[in-house]
Amino acid sequence: MKKIIFASTLLSIFTLASCGSEHEEKEEEESYVVSSPVVMDTTIIKDYVCQIHSIQHIELRALERGYLQAVFVDEGQAVKKGQRLFQIMPSIYEAEMQSKQAEADLAEIEYQTTSQLADKNVVSKNEQAMAKAKLAKAKAELKLAQVHLGFTEIKAPFDGIVGKFQDVRLGSLLDEGDLLTTLSDNGKMWVYFNVPEAEYLNYQSVLRKDKMLEVNLLMANNQMFDYIGVVETIESDFNNETGNIAFRATFPNPERLLRHGETGNIQVESTLKNALLIPQKATFEVLEKRYVYVIDKNNVAHAREIEIASEIPDLYVIRKGVKPTDRIMIEGIRKVSDNEKIHYEYVKPEKIFSELNVYVE
């Protein structure tokens, strides 16, 4: 019997030791780190999806009906203002112009003859006026024929890049208005992006001070464009469905790297004075609301809702919810419950932020 009691006693001791060991292990697992928010000047970067357009992007169409006689350029080729691009067979229009030239010459002779006779009172002044009107009509028709002939030769109206050909083949019959290709002037680019109302008001405060709003362009390959753009115009109306308004920035494009129709991201830098910052990892989300644990003087953790003004990599700029003097939980937020008393280690904000590559002065 003594042996049984002894065994039972040992079992109880082992059980208590095991429980104690588990409790100690649990205590060791619970690691609470607490720190404070930081107030400092900081720069935030806002990203906006954008569309890139050439300042001049036009369609080149056939202005006369006829057979395509010659193509002088290729798709994607850079061309100069006045350079020939296409030639529509001009034979009919040349013949028409020659006919109108002959009519104009005849009308000129008739007018000169009638004027001489009118000066000698052989014919009336009305006949002279009619001859003069006939000459003016013939000259107008000749000029129109010259215009039609000129339309058979399609030239570049400005320096640019030729777009994709639209079923352009030598010898194909073109109707008036048929699309041939497009031409883009890529020397400068217009970049459009939409801005929410609140951010628009912030940017307006900058623009009202006669300052330029400079922006950067992050291209589709995640490389930053070499040149800085300037916001030159803002659309007149907000979109009632999205609550956004369109901004247009102008970028120089001397290497012609940007092309019409590209997309990217506009990045706008803003400086915030005395911004209240906390690490993102100190927050948690419940029903689309963001919270932190604030530790009171009795070391009790209280969940408190916060309002985020802006987001920076690894950091939040806080609009309201915490104060600079508050102690907030940085690590262990998944292990603690609301109104739970904890034991924690307080770490200075400078160290916490330095781990995020943010250095507090």
pLDDT in tens, the chain (361 residues): 333 333 333 334 334 334 444 444 444 446 799 999 999 988 888 899 999 999 999 999 998 888 899 999 999 899 999 999 999 888 778 788 888 888 888 889 988 888 888 888 877 888 888 888 988 988 898 898 888 888 888 999 999 999 999 877 888 888 889 999 999 999 999 999 999 988 888 788 767 665 788 999 999 999 999 999 999 889 989 998 899 999 999 999 999 999 999 999 999 988 888 899 999 999 999 988 999 999 999 999 999 999 998 888 889 999 999 999 999 999 999 899 999 999 999 999 999 988 887 777 6
What stretch of H or E contains 348? none
d(CA 168, CA 59): 14
Which amino acid makes up residue 90?
A: P
For residue 239, give the DSSP letter.
-
Query: Between β-strands 345-346 and 33-35, what pairing exists: parallel, antiparallel or unpaired?
Result: parallel
Query: Do residues 90 and 145 touch, judged by C-beta distance below 8 A?
Result: no
Give the chain's end-to-end CA distance (angstroms, integer): 74
Which pLDDT does position 361 carry in this prediction? 66
Query: Do residues 284 and 291 touch, judged by C-beta distance below 8 A?
Result: yes
